[in-house]
Structure 1
Amino acid sequence: MAATTSDVGGSGSSARQAISTARRVVVKIGSSALTSLAGGLDTGRLDLLADAIEERMRAGSDVVVVSSGAIGAGIAPLGLTKRPTDLATKQAAASVGQLALAHAWGTSFGRYQRTVGQVLLSPDDFARRAHHRNAQRTLDRLRSLGAVAVVNENDTVATAEIRFGDNDRLAALVAHLVGADALVLLSDVDGLYDGDPRKGGAAFIPEVRTSEDLDGVIAGTGGVLGTGGMASKLAAARLAADAGVPVLLAAASDAAAALGEGTVGTAFAARPERLSARKFWVRHAADARGSVRLDSGAVRAVSQRRSSLLAAGITATEGRFYGGDVIALTGPDGTVVARGIVAYDSTELDGMLGRSTGELAAELQRPVVHADDLVRL
């Protein structure tokens, strides 16, 4: 069973205090909190969520909304009876639902004379540095103009099933992108349990301070309308916490309390030091274009001594990559031990494998991956 203490659920815990006083907050809302199979968008529930977000903004916080629900909102208008499973129908439902979702958010926040801006993002917007900066500038400008940014994955052109994991991972990436002080994940579950609470006997976990608090936790996958489930939410919470952003996982029905004093749900403490934007991008956002396999000595050098990777410690390359790409560094058994920005093309590197720096031409003597561009996993 996961470790807990008797007082971590209270408002006095440091993680909860950080969340309740955060100046910039990302709020992710799951599909099940906004839609139903029978009626599509539930504007009543959406209004209650907008009320809670408005209250937080009036208290002085900047809020970015990451909203799921596009596919769910398109099911009823298209006459479908269940969530589609084929890609073309998912994209069709998203194209219909995206309009309805944006309009509903605009109408709801319009009650407070607030303007809503829709921002559709794809994994490529985080994997490519130029796209990453453009998205950051757009979100920052919307905030400075007083508009509420409502972010969603661009499902209408996605080539795989909600690659961000029902927007949970997207929300964690957005939290780092905008320099958020807290991430609040709202869905149909009231927090983290060490098992499935629907089966009985599961213990509620009010706060996660370290990875040891997750020992024995069994997280399930998504439900009827969503695709993420607890496993996706847990992964997103750990990703954000790793980036220095505390996280609160709570039920959408408790949105007012979650965005108020934060006394509900499960709080995830952030790591003491936030990763730099560059290292966060290398570790979490960028796609690895290939990999290099290291011998045991090189694994120790990059993992324990935090040294740069030299050609002498590389035994093989996999995939086609170019200088400036992010690659994975694997040990002799294939386990990924780090990621980093490579200095050479794969074809160039193939002729350098296993050779000491002194054996290489002067222009090839710089590290394959410099320590400043390397993130250990």
Structure 2
Amino acid sequence: MQRNALSRRSVLSLAGACAIAGTGATAVGGAQADGTSRESFTIREGTAEETTVYVTSADADGPTAVVVGGVHGNEVGGYTAASAIADWEIGAGTLVTIPEANAVAIERGTRTDDDGIDLNRQFPEGREPETDLARALWSVIVEYDPDIVIDLHESTGIYANDPVDGVGQAIFHSDGEAAAAAADAAEYVTRNYVDDRSLAFQTGPFSSSNTDPRGLLVHKAARDLGTDAFLAETLSTDVPLETRVQWHSAIVERLLTDALRLEATDGDAESDDPDEDTDENETDDGDETNEEAETDDADESGDEDEAAEAPVASIETCPGNGAAMALESGQQVELDASGSYVQGGEIIRYEWDVGQTAQFDETGETITVTVGANARDTVVLRVTSDDGETDTESIALSTD
């Protein structure tokens, strides 16, 4: 998941923090004995939307990550986890945390603010955010120029490749290396912290720019700044708050551990090796029950030297080189995933998201796609290996 540009780090001084558009003049900070510094400042100071931004900077150079919670005020697990994450110790880089992004909605306990505005629809791509609060939040993100952005949310329904039914128990991600990082985090959290196979975490790509929902913070971060961005969703119904907070914390920990050299956080498993069967001493909620076939059940024998590597998704077109040539609207193109592979294992499932809708609603090693009237159609392939590892690949079919 880490990019070659991980050293792209912007560290604000105390004075610089106050210069961010829309922030207040109040800022506090201090250095610790290990060289780590902590500071905080407010945005929208003096208004009902006032909230605090927390910044932890390590002495060692590294990437910058932003973690956001409370964009929707009724999604308690997200902002509760983010509040704890603000206190995490890091060994490299910078961790910026905005636990209660939407203070008014949190106070109300509702998704929207007093005016019925959904904050997570106020971040259009390529344009200025549409409300004062959205602009203040975006100013923080632009100033820190993060390598990674993680937004924590909750849903009343479980994601099953159809956002209409709910998006809980899912990690949505931007393009590129973020797909593999999301799949790794989903597998890790499911294996170590989920004991009900029906609550296994799934992954999905962000919806395209011209597809609803639009105006999401993470979409703008990914497409305007080139950031690896993630939207984590836990199920909020019939799941204790403590469990939801643990899931969120584990997702963030998995995504950031290598990048920021995180210290061990409370409740984290000591090992993430899927080859260690029945590792009940290293988790705390029954992952030894083989909660789903897509986690570690294929590795129960403990044969580490025979463990399969992660799969590699591959798409070929017929006619050949279809991704590079201008196609005609209505032309049919066959997409072939037979070149996908996994060293030491086999691919057991091929799933396709035609139009990058976040719905993998077609299956099979090959599919036929009719190029639409849009100038550019994106198709995403997700392959799953026999030990539950996943990989994604995308292709754009252009009529330009």
Tell me the TM-score normalised to structure 1 length. Answer: 0.29
Q: Determine which structure has the larger strand proportion and give its number.
A: 2
The higher relative CO (CA closer than 8 Å, separation ≥ 6) is in 1
Tell me the TM-score normalised to structure 2 length. Answer: 0.28
Higher Cα Rg, which structure: 1
Q: Determine which structure has the larger helix proportion and give its number.
A: 1
